[in-house]
Structure 1
């Protein structure tokens, strides 16, 4: 599974097209680490599933309905208090990392207009869903509380200032210069299949392998300038997918076993059976 920053970028574009400017109609929490927001837009009810599961963290639209507990959890009740009737005014990804921030225009306890941000961190066992009050960056609540004895660098619980995970020192694939000075282990590692996952935030080894393979097919290798040429090629590749050039694809082997999925049609997966979808 390659839910990397590029895949999340494709999801963010799809979500913007479908739910931006919509209003929250319902909030449910069917699982301890999962919420479903029903958003009303253009006379349609659209369900947004957000999971902070350690094994399968994700965010996507869904048409499925789930049974909800008789007594809603505290986090669910808090989200209902601040988000029911709120308008989704902004949705953005943080630096091509696996973090999405959803800004909702709502009202505070005094009845004044206020922006509340739902921050979704899709990071394996560290995944979380947190609601903050944007004007003062205060955590209203999170689906998982992180106390100082669990993480001394970064706590998350009601009443404290929200702190993002440590920033990646890698390059943002959508905002970098091909002239950037990059240190590599050795000249021989320049065209290793995972080189770009070490250089760029949000690029998985699966995508790195694809880009390096395409580069080798389409370019005559000049070892002296290989890294710079690879960065130039990569920049053009990333620019092409900012134009919403996505093809959500599931890959299966000859026995029908699921092997992987991605938001692009990968040439390096040409030997696998492909099933394409219009939506993630």
Structure 2
């Protein structure tokens, strides 16, 4: 039988009871592994070190892990992990609850300055959303925009539509739901009652009811037996009456359950004192058991790929509809401000005057509340105040509008119109993205047709030629990972087509470090002829190598200049070309002319410069498989020959984060070993190689 990869709703209901025993543990640090595994390192007064793991990828789980089962911390923390550290460091774990009977856990963390909720979606594609106290999404691993729900930064988190909670349902409602089905008992329990296949069968076994019994033939006796079996299961979950088991088949772990199951009789089993310990041990052993060897000739799972693209299209359609609704809502808010001009102006004036007089927000709110009790229309219209943002929310005939009291009615209305315009621009970007996804869907269907048509070259004698062939990294079922660390990974970098290292700064601190610590006399200094560009150094030798004079090939000089231009404000301004210059290291100085001042990260260049005119602002990002496995990025002429798969980008409309996710999805489609892509080329790692500003992926 296939090994369990995801926890069930029953499993999560049992885990919640045990996880809440860690209430009061204090968060030290958060980590993100491979873009789908979160680790929260905590300290508990009684238990010491506590490691909470949440995984939402191919494996979906949430539990406290034995510290010996926790992998070493990854290298540079991605943006998502840094955000979690900023919000949760020093926070207290306040508990966890299961949302209804769904595979969703909501973790609560409390800190004096702000409370945070972490929502782990352990179903479907999997996701983790970080919410503030009001339920607004701060960040999420994946953005979801569907007609039924939205999970996106800045929006209110949307839970999936409510479903029947089978552990709380009354008998009459249970019978009505069962009788709505047109299939057999076990399928009805699994789908309509949300138990899933395993526990649907287990309930039938415990009730003594034939699982294949047609609903049309089920009577009150069968329903009573099933309902009582569900009641006994619910009681054990509520009381924490667990007798956990790990089940094995042929010495391989295949399942973990909070109590012994009739449906697992005949399998070898191991008992545990707690369900959390059983879950932890199960997944630790599961990850270390060797996978079945693949021959490389198996049929690719085209159906999964096609279904994935169809899901993406559904999300994109939901996003477009959401953008349309959001833009229309913003215009309605602007029009409501003008339609109630005098009322809004009175509110703005009242709040602004009070603030200028030195009154605090609490005092203003109290005064408005008293005015509302006396029936003053302006006071009644104020429904919320946000001191942190300095905003007041006004209800105008059912339309709620946030207003900045420091501005007049016209400027507040203009802000709403501008926001509508911005949302419509995002809609245009989403329309372009959905066309790309539709093309990818058609390409997947074509690949399926080509596979089914057969390969004309199949059956040729493989021994006819013993000449070495290039490795087909894209088709390998398991790509070996070789990822040593290098000093230059703290910066932007690439290797030229001639093998020379080029390093660039991301900010003023890195610009300073490159010049002061790493630039040597035989190197070359490059900079875009534009404000806001990185210091770019073409290295003759490494920091530990003996200095030597190098005659750099023109191709390496051209690529270094292109790197300097692409990662400068040229790209951010949406321009497709710019100029760059090159000088010797001894022409670069931190000493300004008398009476002048140099900003941090800036330098004085003295003497003649060598210019590179009309340099293309184009980059490529790729995945390198040999001699090392890693994301690489820079000028296309340097990156593409070194990469097993690459994508070319130019200035465009997609934000850095969105462009990185698009690249990540495309790479996952190209490699048969998509777990390799998750480990090597997460969106955060790809984003490190993308220029600041908007990008488009160039059609190939």
Partner secondary structure for residue 208 of structure 2: helix
String of CA shifts for 1:206-227, please: whole Å, max 9, x gaps.
112112111118xxx9834422
Query: How many angstroms apart in 2 are the aligned matches of 1:83 and 1:225?
Result: 52
Please list every run of at least 4 consecutive aligned residues from structure 1 whose deviation after the TM superposition is greater than 6 angstroms.
Answer: none
> 1:228-279: CA deviations, max 9, x gaps?
44213322332133211222222223x3243333222012221111112222
Residue 248 (structure 1) aligned to one of 226, 230, 244: 244
Identify the residue that residue 222 of structure 2 maps to in structure 1.
226
Partner of 1:138: 136
Q: Is the 8 A contact 2:36 2:55 kept in 1?
A: yes
Q: Is the 8 A contact 2:148 2:160 kept in 1?
A: no
SS at match of 2:203: helix
Q: Distance in 2 between matches of 1:95 and 1:165?
A: 10
Find out whether 1:205 has 2:197 as its counterpart: yes
Which structure features the higher share of helix residues? 2
Q: 2:51 aligns with which of 38, 47, 52?
A: 47
Is 2:23 aligned against 1:20?
yes
1 or 2 for the larger relative contact order (CA 8 Å, sep ≥6)? 1
Equivalent pair of 1:30/1:67 in contact (CA under 8 Å): no
How much does 1:195 deviate? 3.4
d(CA) in 1 for partners of 2:235, 2:8? 17
Please report how far the alpha carbon of residue 83 of structure 1 lies from its aligned counterpart in structure 2 after TM superposition: 0.5
> Alpha-carbon deviations, 1:38-69, whole Å to 9, x = none?
1111150100011121x102111112232333
Q: Measure, in 2, the Cα distance between the counterparts of 1:52 and 1:39.
A: 20
Shift of 1:152: 4.7
TM-score normalized by the length of structure 2? 0.35
Match of 2:358 in 1: none
Match among 265, 270, 274 for residue 275 of structure 1: 270
CA pair 229-8 structure 1, distance change in 2 beyond 3 A: same
2:109 pairs with 104, 128, 132, which one? 104
Report Cα offsets for 1:120-178 as digits up to 9, x if no partner: 110132x11111012x22111112233x4xx454332322211112222x3x1331111
CA contact (8 A) 2:54 2:63 kept: yes
Distance 1:272 1:248 in 2: 14
Aligned positions of 1:10-159 closer than 5 A: 10-17=14-21, 19-42=22-45, 44-53=48-57, 55-62=58-65, 63=67, 64-107=69-112, 113-125=113-125, 127-134=126-133, 136-146=134-144, 148=145, 151-159=146-154
Give the match for residue 262 of structure 1. 257
2:430: which partner in 1?
A: none
Q: What is residue 296 of structure 2 aligned with on the other side?
A: none
Question: Cα distance 1:239–1:145, how it changes in 2: closer, same or farther (>3 A)?
Answer: same
Alpha-carbon contact 1:178-1:232 (below 8 Å) kept: no
Does the CA-based 8 Å contact 1:118-1:129 persist in structure 2? yes
Tell me the distance in 2 between the aligned counterparts of 1:226 and 1:121.
34
**Pair 252,70 (structure 1): closer, same or farther in 2 beyond 3 Å:** closer
Residues 136, 156 of structure 2: 8 Å contact kept: yes
Alpha-carbon contact 2:93-2:109 (below 8 Å) kept = yes
Report the more deviating stretch, 20-29 or 244-253: 244-253
SS of 2:172's partner is: coil
Deviation at 1:70, TM superposition (A): 2.8
Whole-angstrom CA distance in 1 between matches of 2:218 and 2:72: 59
Q: Distance in 2 between matches of 1:122 and 1:115?
A: 23
Aligned mates of 1:52, 1:222 — CA distance in 2:
38
Q: Are 2:181 and 1:185 aligned?
A: yes
CA-to-aligned-CA distance 1:105-126 (integer Å, 9 cap, x gap): 124xxxxx4321111110132x
Give the SS at the match of 1:78.
helix
CA distance in structure 2 between the aligned counterparts of 1:140 and 1:224, rounded to whole angstroms: 50
- Higher-Rg structure is 2
Unaligned runs of 5+ in 1: 108-112
CA distance in 2, matches of 1:6, 1:155: 26
- Structure 1 distance, partners of 2:76, 2:252, is 39
Residue 215 (structure 2) pairs with residue 215 (structure 1) = no
The 2-side partners of 1:224 and 1:105 are apart by 48
Aligned length, in residue pairs: 258
Structure whose residues are more often strand by fraction: 1
2:169 to 176, 183, 187: 176
* TM value normalised by structure 1: 0.83
Deviation, 1:85, is 0.5
Shift in alpha-carbon separation, 1:144–1:40, aligned structure 2, 3 A: same
- Structure 2: 5+ residue stretches without partners: 210-216, 280-700
